[in-house]
Amino acid sequence: MITELRRYRVKPGRMPSWLEFFAEAAKRNEAIGARVEYAGVDRETGTFIWLRTFADEADRQSRKAEFYGSAWWGEREAFAMDHILEYDVTFLDAAVQRDGGTLTFLPWPLDGEQPGGRGDGPPDGWTASTRRSYVPE
């Protein structure tokens, strides 16, 4: 299982309408099998944070294509992105997960494709930030 940790810095005064929009977006994600695990707001910074999970990278690519290729998203993308000052995505491999009331510790290292290994480009009209993270080879 992989998780996207997504952080959106929302324009001042726009959080209420963002949350209203996100309530429907979360339902749409769930309907196509992308599990929304958590969503919350950092009031101090006006940052909306949410997590969604996928079985693996191929599943992530497929479900995202279905969501972002839908007529529903196409009709609402401009409205949604008009709320956002900036956003970033962190891709996480599951190491521990809850199965009912039990924590399951997963074997490490995991086999298979690295989460986010196929990359995500910015939406139309956006560009990647000049900030970068670097990791050793």
| SS3 of residue 12 by DSSP | coil
Q: What is the DSSP letter of 56?
A: S
Domain boundaries defined on the chain: 2-105
In this prediction, residue 121 has a pLDDT band, given cuts at 50, 70 and 90, of confident
* Whole-angstrom distance, CA of residue 4 vs CA of residue 47: 16
pLDDT of residue 130: 63
If you average pLDDT over every residue of the chain, what do you get?
90
107-116 LR contacts (CB < 8 Å, sep 24+): 112/56, 112/57, 113/56, 113/57, 113/58, 114/57, 115/2, 115/3, 115/4, 115/57, 115/60, 115/91, 116/2, 116/4, 116/57, 116/89, 116/91
pLDDT of residue 136: 59
Q: Length of the chain in residues, anyone?
A: 137
Of the candidates 126, 122, 94, the residue with the CA atom closest to the CA atom of residue 3: 94
pTM of the entire predicted model = 0.84
Domain 2-105 falls under CATH 3.40.50.10420: no
In this prediction, residue 118 has a pLDDT band, given cuts at 50, 70 and 90, of confident
pLDDT digits (tens, 9 = 90+) for 68-115: 999 999 999 999 999 999 999 998 988 998 888 899 998 887 787 777
Which residue blocks in 32-115 are alpha helix, DSSP H? 57-68, 71-81
